[in-house]
Chains A and B, each alone.
Chain A
């Protein structure tokens, strides 16, 4: 029988089993969920969408690796979170932007927003959105000209001289050209995504597919995306600036980056509340700020900044949405409050 005296045993704290889910498997699920949007982007804008994303991913992986190497910290590229950031940033950019430009965005996303605060889980603001915000501030012209999917596709290398740029649906809505928008793109085109916009934001149906995958895999909770999209839908239905409430609402939620933001950006673990109640509040706040920026701000689109503003409020939301501990029932709470 066994030699029990010479067993090499380790004694660690309970629990002795763990679920099969890991940080890496979660990030892999997010990557898989982005593939439909990326595939549609290739169809809509040409294969430069894919090469741009690849450059961005490689850039993010390099900056993550280099920072951890220089600072002599344990490597974290293997958790794939930098790949997610790289993909997300590319999905928010115009397809014809120069490759070197997105690398600058990658630098700000990984180094400034993520690693300087301690790496994965420690950042308080969404890295991909920081990268995008820095690019918009630095290269406003490039970052606000959008290729027309009906025109020639962007070239894989170098500039595309005959590229036709056009106004996005949100720009037309903001500019008071809603009737022209209705004539140019019908609702199915808006839902499918045959419209100008950033690489990954155009196709609501592809993003919805990815979002449903994330919900099915229990990577995200329904609270943030549903609260976010519902808030925007309700507000735009109630306060249309042109057309009927329903038309205005449909164009508001399918045009722009709402689905991308709601399913992939606002649900970022590190920068969203930890309780379901907090996530509901967070989603409603994102929706509110998005509509406010779209209606009263100087930008056409408010998704990026509304999520960044709500990111800053996460600590506050977490503080006021703590779960009630086991054994404290409502009547006890009232008594405690009365005292």
Chain B
């Protein structure tokens, strides 16, 4: 079994609530709100205006620079193009579509005549046009990862760790759609020109491993499934690379620096669907769970479905629900409204009605060092907290705060309930602000000197 990395924590996985429930199709929502930013990079430009008729799979947002296009997830009439709340916080320009419940598929969606005859360039173009991004939550555009990695990458890794508590979407996909995963792996192997693709799965999903192994044996596919220790954040890209290859991504680097490329299970499925059917990313599997949900479920819904529709399909929220989280409980973002829509990276919608954090009023660090032992990046959170609290920017840099990936392991482990992750977000901003100010000051000085000389 692949060894775990140094550090990390072992939260109760809470997956029993949904891991035996098959993925259900959500009853089509009356309206979808599709935000123009569901990827890492600048927001898309809307291609439609209010009153337009759109069909499923039609491109409605075009990207500039780093990004991925966005498609209509239902057919119907565009009701508005306006800023709406979205899951990353604040408002984002969104296309609001009134569903006509016809599910008319756009002419733009064309299945290739022979998917196996496609060249590498053609496949990458299909992935790009399908708007595929990292579905695990990081939402990095997949076509950029593939085209940037070809030639450098000799280890293609599929991330099936699913180490966040509660989330079971990837697990259910392994059980219900293993052919799509293995099919996607085969296309990825072809694109990167590698002989083997490795799927890493935490060993609490043994039946998922078995289901994929069965398909691998049937198809004689060049894919290997490796069980991993259960330990958060095993599904962190860099931790997964270390567990599967033994190599560490250098600070500030990417997996491609050590010849790795990592794709999420559902990203792999999306690649398979795009190449075989031409259908872009229009649906998302969301685990709806947590102590505030009456009947937790795995739901597949159109992108842009308001999360309130998901909760309604799960029997509603219990009284006293005080927190909604888009994503897992360790790294997900708390929402201030239930109006936010499902995005490409929303793997879970959690509702909590108990104080699961057991916060205290006046947290005091007791220097127990449990955060140091928990940090998967090998930093010293307790000292970083002190520096950030006092605004000591140089010390923050020396403590390598920019390496922090905000995984929340330190704060999870902290018996004193310090708000570590929150303070590091503040601290990182301090470092960025200082760097920007220094740069501006240096440029101003340079400009002044040039003026003097002139």
**SS of B interface (majority):** loop
Q: How large is the interface on A (under 10, 10 to 19, 20 to 34, 35 or more residues)?
A: 35 or more
Nearest residue (CB) in B for A16 is B329
B136 at the interface (CB under 8 A from A): no
Whether B251 and A15, one on each chain, are in contact in the complex, defined by CB atoms closer than 8 angstroms, is no
B84 at the interface (CB under 8 A from A): no
Q: Which single residue of chain B is at the shortest CB-CB distance from A326?
A: B377
Across the interface, A7 reaches (CB within 8 A) one of B321, B364, B425, namely B321
Let me know if B165 and A17 touch, CB within 8 A: yes
Closest to B403 in A: A325
B253 part of interface (Cβ distance < 8 Å): yes
Contact B368 A326 (CB under 8 A): no
Nearest-neighbour CB distance to chain B for A7, whole angstroms, equals 6
Given A25-B415, A120-B366 in contact, is the A14-B251 Cβ separation under 8 Å? Answer: no
Interface residues of B in 276-315 (CB under 8 A from A): 308, 311-312
B372: Cβ under 8 A from any A Cβ: yes
Please name all residues of chain A whose beta carbon is closer than 8 Å to the beta carbon of B248 when the two chains form the complex.
326-329
A48 and B325 alpha carbons, distance in the complex (Å): 55
Flag if A323 contacts B372 (CB, 8 Å).
Answer: yes
Q: Which residue of chain A has its CB nearest to the CB of B330?
A: A15
A21 interfacial by beta-carbon distance below 8 Å: yes
Residues of chain B within 8 A (CB-CB) of A10 are 322-323, 334
Question: For chain A residues 61-83, which have a beta carbon within 8 Å of chain B?
Answer: 74, 76, 79, 81
Q: Does A296 sit at the interface, judged by CB under 8 A?
A: no
* In the complex, chain B residues 369-421 whose Cβ is within 8 Å of any chain A Cβ: 369-370, 372-373, 375-380, 382, 400, 403, 406, 408-409, 411-417, 419, 421
Question: Which single residue of chain B is at the shortest CB-CB distance from A276?
Answer: B373
Residue of A274, A276, A328 with highest tally of chain B CB at under 10 A: A274
Judged by a CB distance under 8 angstroms, whether B316 is at the interface is yes
Is there contact, CB below 8 Å, between A76 and B364?
Answer: yes
- Tell me, yes or no, whether B238 is within 8 Å of chain A by CB: yes
Distance in angstroms between the alpha carbons of A276 and B375 in the assembled complex: 13
* Range for the number of chain B residues in contact with chain A: 35 or more
Cβ-neighbour of B406 out of A7, A14, A26, A273 (below 8 A): A14
Q: Among the listed A12, A119, A322, which residue makes an inter-chain contact with B380, where contact means beta carbons less than 8 Å apart? A: A322
CA distance A76 to B248 in the complex (A): 43
Would you call B187 an interface residue if the criterion is a C-beta within 8 Å of the partner chain's C-beta atoms?
no
CB atoms of A18 and B358 under 8 A apart:
yes
Bound-complex Cα distance A274 to B415 (A)? 14
Are the CB atoms of B9 and A9 closer together than 8 Å?
Answer: no
A18 near B322: Cβ-Cβ < 8 Å = no
- B367 x A269 contact (CB < 8 A): yes
> Inside 8 A of A22's CB, which chain B residues have their CB?
358, 360, 415-417
Q: Is the CB of B368 within 8 A of A18?
A: no
Question: Which residue on chain B has the smallest CB distance to residue A20?
Answer: B358
Hey, which chain A residues are within 8 Å of B372, CB to CB?
Answer: 274-275, 323
The 5 A-B residue pairs whose C-beta atoms are closest, nearest first, are: A15-B408, A13-B422, A274-B369, A4-B338, A11-B334
Give 15 new A-B contacts, CB below 8 A, not counting A1-B316, A23-B364, A26-B366: A9-B335, A15-B408, A16-B323, A16-B329, A16-B334, A17-B357, A21-B413, A121-B365, A274-B367, A276-B373, A323-B379, A324-B378, A326-B377, A326-B403, A327-B250
**Chain A residues proximal to chain B, CB less than 8 Å:** 1-2, 4, 7-23, 25-26, 74, 76, 79, 81, 119-122, 269-270, 272-276, 322-329, 332
